Structure 1
Amino acid sequence: MSANPNIFDSKPDVYTKTSAAATRKFGNRRNKTEFWMLLPSMIILAIISIFPFIYLIYASFMDYALSIDEPAFNNIQNWLRVFKSETFWGSWGRTGIFAMSGLALELLLGVGLALLIYYLPKGRNLIVTLWMLPLFVAPVVTGLLGRFMLNSTYGLYAWFLQLLGINTEIFGNVSTAMPAIILMDVWEWTPLITIIVLAGLQSMPEEPLEAAEVDGADFLQKLRYIILPLVYQTILVALLIRSMDILRFVDTIKITTEGGPADSTKTIGYYLLEVAFRFQDFGTAAALGLTMLFVTIWLGKAFVKLMTKGES
Structure 2
Amino acid sequence: MTTRVKRPGQGFELAMMTPALILLAAISLVPLGTMIYMSLSKVSLIGGLSLSFAGLANWTRLFTDPDIGASWLRTVVYFVATVGLEMVLGTLIALLVHSLIRGRNLVLSLVLIPMFIAPIIVGLLGRFLFDPSFGLYSWLLASTGLYEGNVMGSVGPAMYTVIGLDVWEWTPLVALIVLAGLTAVPTDILEAADVDGASYRHKLWHIVLPAITPILLVALLIRSMDALRFFAIIFITTNGGPADSTKTVPIRLYDIAFRFFDLGYASAVGLTMLAVSIIIATVFVRVLERREATP
Shorter-chain TM band? over 0.9
Q: Does 1:151 align with 2:131?
A: yes
Distance 2:241 2:106 in 1: 39
Residues 243-262 of structure 1 aligned to structure 2 (within 5 Å):
243-262=224-243
Instruction: Decide which of 167, 192, 197 is 1:186's aligned counterpart.
Output: 167
1:121 is paired with a residue whose SS is coil
Residues 156-167 of structure 1 aligned to structure 2 (within 5 Å):
156-165=136-145, 166-167=147-148
Distance 2:184 2:245 in 1: 42
In the TM superposition, residue 232 of structure 1 has moved relative to its aligned partner by: 0.4
Distance 1:219 1:161, change over 3 A: same
**Counterpart in the other structure of 1:198:** 179
In the TM superposition, residue 65 of structure 1 has moved relative to its aligned partner by: 3.4
**Counterpart in the other structure of 1:33:** 12
**Counterpart in the other structure of 1:64:** 43
In the TM superposition, residue 225 of structure 1 has moved relative to its aligned partner by: 0.3
- Aligned-pair Cα RMSD in Å: 1.2
Aligned length: 287
**Counterpart in the other structure of 1:10:** none
In the TM superposition, residue 110 of structure 1 has moved relative to its aligned partner by: 0.1
Instruction: Decide which of 243, 249, 255 is 1:274's aligned counterpart.
Output: 255
In the TM superposition, residue 127 of structure 1 has moved relative to its aligned partner by: 1.3
Distance 2:174 2:87 in 1: 7
In structure 1, list runs of 5 or more residues that go unmatched: 1-23
In the TM superposition, residue 284 of structure 1 has moved relative to its aligned partner by: 0.5
In the TM superposition, residue 256 of structure 1 has moved relative to its aligned partner by: 0.9
Deviations 1:143-194 (A, max 9, x none): 0000000111111111110112211111100010000000000000000000
Q: Does 1:79 align with 2:59?
A: yes
Instruction: Decide which of 205, 216, 220 is 1:235's aligned counterpart.
Output: 216
In the TM superposition, residue 213 of structure 1 has moved relative to its aligned partner by: 0.7
Quick check: which has more Rg, 1 or 2?
1
Distance 1:186 1:123 in 2: 24
Instruction: Decide which of 94, 101, 111 is 2:74's aligned counterpart.
Output: 94
**Counterpart in the other structure of 2:120:** 140
Distance 2:21 2:97 in 1: 41
Deviations 1:223-246 (A, max 9, x none): 100000000010110010011111
Deviations 1:72-125 (A, max 9, x none): 000100111111111111111000000101111101110000000001001111
**Counterpart in the other structure of 1:129:** 109
**Counterpart in the other structure of 2:281:** 300
2:240 is paired with a residue whose SS is coil
Distance 1:279 1:243 in 2: 29
Distance 1:222 1:117 in 2: 17
In structure 2, list runs of 5 or more residues that go unmatched: none
Distance 1:275 1:68 in 2: 20
1:225 is paired with a residue whose SS is helix
Using the size of structure 1 for normalisation, the TM-score is 0.90
1:171 is paired with a residue whose SS is coil
In the TM superposition, residue 308 of structure 1 has moved relative to its aligned partner by: 2.5
Instruction: Decide which of 31, 45, 52 is 2:24's aligned counterpart.
Output: 45
Distance 1:191 1:77 in 2: 44
> Which amino acid in structure 2 is aligned with residue 190 of structure 1?
T
Distance 2:76 2:63 in 1: 17
In the TM superposition, residue 203 of structure 1 has moved relative to its aligned partner by: 1.5
Distance 1:97 1:68, change over 3 A: farther
In the TM superposition, residue 68 of structure 1 has moved relative to its aligned partner by: 6.9
> Which amino acid in structure 2 is aligned with residue 47 of structure 1?
A
In the TM superposition, residue 55 of structure 1 has moved relative to its aligned partner by: 1.1
The percentage of aligned residue pairs carrying the same residue is 45
Q: Moved runs in structure 1, 4+ residues, more than 4 A? A: none
